[in-house]
Structure 1
């Protein structure tokens, strides 16, 4: 969910556009032993087993879960938790639909599109990010600080986010033809070389990557200019919600404890996970610390992490409508916390 600062060919957002919920023969790769283990090192317990499919490889975006495992918060909640790392071969919604996990972290546009078009039996029970980290990333010298500044400019956009850009421009009353949209491969090099004026990417870590490479980055969130959707929504199957509400509440609260512990000092835990959860990502721990600090204001909620207010749910529904995705209120369940 980030830049190519770790590996040039790993970004799940390239794969969202090709999700086929009617086809379950996917390469479910859960072989990362350092991360797919449970908090008890793989030992069986009498606690209730619960698996969560992550949408991407391990980085600061998921550090709250790692902390909750290491601190024993899930065990205290009588949960035998197994964290399943993601990657480009894995679409979390499909893993959930195939019953290879009980929980999945997803993007609401993909999940709700699956509910509407494929009758996927899903419910959104929480939102890790109240504000989606997706934004316009540029260089300060380019002077792109608002949507209107994109008029007459070249914007590099990942294939999976074309509908998002159309909705964003529509919300801001900017004709699509006024912005030159070109393909983006999650590499800031064209931006640094002046080949494009801006890119669409995550503001939580791409600016740091640009800075590491000698650039002077600027960015703004799509959320702050009207495209108000969650990210890393917590999704379960209808049957799970019906039969195990208390278990899901316990999991949400244990996970929240992990995030609360993390945000006591966002610089404390990334170095501790350098040789375990963050091993092999190709990114510096300094980048992970930047990421961890940058994501905090996007996750915080007066009622606690994962809470979804009625206003925020309605904002998601309205924003998704601009992309042609017809979300309804009953797709969101906000009474578990």
Structure 2
């Protein structure tokens, strides 16, 4: 079953970074969003090439990246240690999230920043079957067997417990792989998943599902965030702004045409994955309404992270044991310049 069957290594903490190579893209700093010679654009995805990245597909297929000055585009499928890829210079931009990036910044001294985010609300959930675990509240976790993938996913799950005053010995953490089969088979009562992905997959198998959303239970943070190096911000600003401009245009198209975004995933960018068009359409529609478009993005523009949202993310990280400031983690100045230069994006 070719679906994103879990968060898969999104939150893997990285080993010590010994060197930071020069970025694969080059370009002079500029106040203009577009440039005529930005070279190749490499983007590291957090996941396989499914409908999750519909906006990027539109930006490529409709020529927005080309118009913005990039000679070619390479989308690199995940999952992987995104921060390491960006630090190595193999990608100008990597898609990740604050909980994955913050430990690398604090513990490894990595000069990374988040400059925008597709998902204003993170999609992580404890998925359960209504006639099984039926985990509807955080307190329902107590005494349950929860399937959690090894690595950074454990950190995320432990943060959920801590945010809700639940000790780890009150829950049985069951090591699982990346397929929700253990949930369907009754081996676990709950499964760490995406509300826009595994939840749809399991529901399509005929099961009534219950979702315990992390964002509504003490862990609100953005996801599919654009991670870049400070060096790129300082010395490759034109390329970053051009990426943001073209990607915002692409996501406007993805919101207007969710089924086309699904088709691009199934027939073009993820054509070798055996994706199911019906499921991808469901995901495309769901992510737009649940995660991408909010009152804040309507007011401020797609991909933006407001000061209030940044503060919420910092509070979440603090609850998970990470002391970091918004200035250490976020730099929204590039996107602010993009919207100032292109007010039509707000239309």
TM-score by length of 2: 0.83
Task: Name 1:126's counterpart in structure 2.
Answer: 116
Q: Give the Å deviation of 1:6.
A: 1.4
* 1:119-173 Cα shifts (integer Å, max 9, x gaps): 1111111111111111111111233211112222211111231221221122112
- How many residue pairs get aligned? The number is 312
Q: Is the Cα contact below 8 Å between 1:133 and 1:202 reproduced in 2?
A: yes
- The correspondence for 1:314, drawn from 301, 311, 315, is 311
Equivalent residue number for residue 22 of structure 1: 17
Q: Is the 8 A contact 2:138 2:212 kept in 1?
A: no
Q: SS state of the match for residue 137, structure 1?
A: strand
**Aligned residue in 2 for 1:279:** 271
Counterpart CA distance in 2 for 1:220 and 1:258 is 30
- 2:332 alignment partner, one of 326, 331, 334: 334
Question: What secondary structure is seen at the aligned counterpart in 1 of 2:178?
Answer: coil
The Cα of 1:7 is off from its aligned counterpart by: 7.0
Equivalent residues in 2 for 1:1-337, closer than 5 Å: 5-6=1-2, 13-14=8-9, 16-17=11-12, 19-22=14-17, 46-49=36-39, 50-88=41-79, 90-142=80-132, 143-159=134-150, 160-296=152-288, 297-300=290-293, 301-302=297-298, 303-330=300-327, 331-336=329-334, 337=336
CA distance in 1, matches of 2:12, 2:94: 18
The question of whether the paired residues in 1 share the 8 Å contact of 2:116 and 2:304 is answered with: yes
Seen in structure 2, the aligned counterparts of structure 1 residues 191 and 255 have a Cα distance that, compared at 3 Å, is: same
Q: Secondary structure at the match of 1:233?
A: strand
Contact 1:47–1:75 (Cα < 8 Å) also in 2:
no
Query: For the residues of structure 1 that align with 2:112 and 2:307, how far apart are their CA atoms?
Result: 19
Q: Report SS of the residue matched to 1:141.
A: coil
1:46 deviation in Å? 4.9
Contact 2:13 2:103 in 1 (8 A): no
Name stretches of at least 5 consecutive residues in structure 2 with no aligned partner.
Answer: 21-34, 337-347
CA distance in 1, matches of 2:71, 2:273: 26
Which residue is equivalent to 1:29?
none
Q: 1:31 aligns to what?
A: none
Aligned-partner Cα distance in 2 for 1:230–1:176: 25
Q: Which has the higher helix share?
A: 2
TM-score, length-scaled by structure 1: 0.85
Which of structure 1's runs of 4+ aligned residues deviate more than 6 A?
none
Match of 2:342 in 1: none
Give the secondary-structure state (helix, strand or coil) at the position aligned to 2:266: coil
Identify if the C-alpha distance between structure 1 residues 285 and 23 changes in structure 2 by more than 3 Å, giving closer, same or farther.
farther
**Do the aligned partners of 2:7 and 2:153 also contact (CA within 8 Å) in 1?**
no
Provide the alpha-carbon RMSD of the alignment.
2.3
2:124/2:213 contact within 8 Å kept: yes
* C-alpha contact 1:21 1:94 (8 A) present in aligned 2: no
Query: Deviation per CA, 1:183-228, whole angstroms, max 9, x where unpaired?
Result: 1212222212222111111111112211232322221310111101
